[in-house]
Amino acid sequence: MKINNPLKIAGSLLLVFLLPLIAAGEYIIGPEDVLEIKFWQDNTLDANVKVRQDGKISLDIIGELQASGLTTSDLEREIVRQMSRYNKAISQTVVRVTEYGFQKVWITGQILNPGKYTFEEIPDLWTVINEAGGITETGDLTRVLIIRSGEQAGQVEVVNVADMVVTGNVNNLPRLRAGDTIEISRAPAGLPARTLSDRPVVKNIFYVIGSVNEPGAVTLESNIDILDALALAGGPTENANLKTVTVVSKDGLNTQMVKINLEQYINAGVTGRYMVRPEDNIIVGRSGGGFLGLNSVAEFAALIGSISTAILLYDALKTSP
């Protein structure tokens, strides 16, 4: 009696065990996917086809066959099985997905490049937002909407993406599914902008720093004067010094600094004459001296979001009378 090689037996058993695991990681074809099909024995049969909504494709000679729900390997075997009925020479074919039309999501709202995005495997929400170019200067990452499709069609999830990113919990973001729509909300006028962008472009925001109740970045709407700006930042604190409010403006590559006596405007009952411009830095000092209650450039940068601008402002204001 012939005894089989035990190593060959072990290898065969291992292959049988691993094949389902390998197949489990393969892409599942879906409607609107575009497939490239090549026949090794007869390239005149090669085809590029789009999977219809009913999940089927149509090929010369064999006609229609189901593609949706199969892996590319499954479809290759099915094509060879059916094609060999008509042409015994056909024993191999290769199926490749050239466009992932099924694994798609839409992104709309305050995003730089809205539209449809397709993937081999749909990534996490933060990756999709970055794939679409990131949010605009008026985008609100604290209220990102996921509008579900499929069995959950119409359901809406509100996600605080900003918090997840800052705390390093991106992996805990809700999982996206094929057909979902992502909507980036617009930050309400006057509320702090919720962007995480460091793009070197002029943003439609300004900064109010120092002795105000809500220091930080504020979305700039049209016709906002300096008094409006303070109101949008929660108003001055009790110890605010309104006699020497400083405005630092960008003018191309140059920076201009202006001191304004807002107390005089308020006592006279007139509106603030200075109209706020994009990326203005408005600094409200503190009565009794001291530098805004900030102890370092790092604290200053945390408020205005730019370390280079922070260094310039910090030095300029500390040396100003």
Instruction: Write the pLDDT tens digit of every residue in 161-196.
Output: 888 877 778 889 999 998 899 999 887 655 555 544
| Non-local CB neighbours of 111 within 8 Å, separated by 6+ positions | 129, 132, 133, 134, 135, 136, 139, 184
CATH of 104-186, picked from 3.90.1280.10, 3.10.560.10, 2.60.120.480, 3.30.450.40, is: 3.10.560.10
293 versus 137: the higher-pLDDT residue is 137
Residue 308 has pLDDT above 90, yes or no: no
Average pLDDT across the chain, whole number: 76
CATH of 205-319, picked from 3.30.300.30, 3.40.50.460, 3.60.20.10, 3.10.560.10, is: 3.10.560.10
Residue-range domain boundaries for the chain: 6-99, 104-186, 205-319
Give the rounded percent of residues in the chain with a pLDDT score beyond 70. 74
Half-sphere exposure of 120 (CA within 13 A, CB side): 9
Contact (CB, 8 A) for 62 and 79:
yes
- pLDDT digit string, tens, across residues 212-229: 888 877 888 778 888 888
Stretch 49-71: mean pLDDT: 91
190 versus 11: the higher-pLDDT residue is 190
> What is residue 246's predicted lDDT score, i.e. its pLDDT?
85
Q: If you classify domain 6-99 with CATH, what class do you get?
A: alpha beta
Stretch 68-89: mean pLDDT: 90
Half-sphere exposure of 223 (CA within 13 A, CB side): 1
Does the predicted TM-score (pTM) go above 0.85?
no
Stretch 247-274: mean pLDDT: 74
90 versus 256: the higher-pLDDT residue is 90
Weakest-pLDDT range from 95-109, 134-148, 241-255, 273-287: 241-255
Q: Can you tell me which residue has the tokens 């049988």?
A: 16
> What is residue 320's predicted lDDT score, i.e. its pLDDT?
45
Is 205-319 in the same CATH topology as 104-186? yes
> What is residue 288's predicted lDDT score, i.e. its pLDDT?
64
> What is residue 15's predicted lDDT score, i.e. its pLDDT?
38
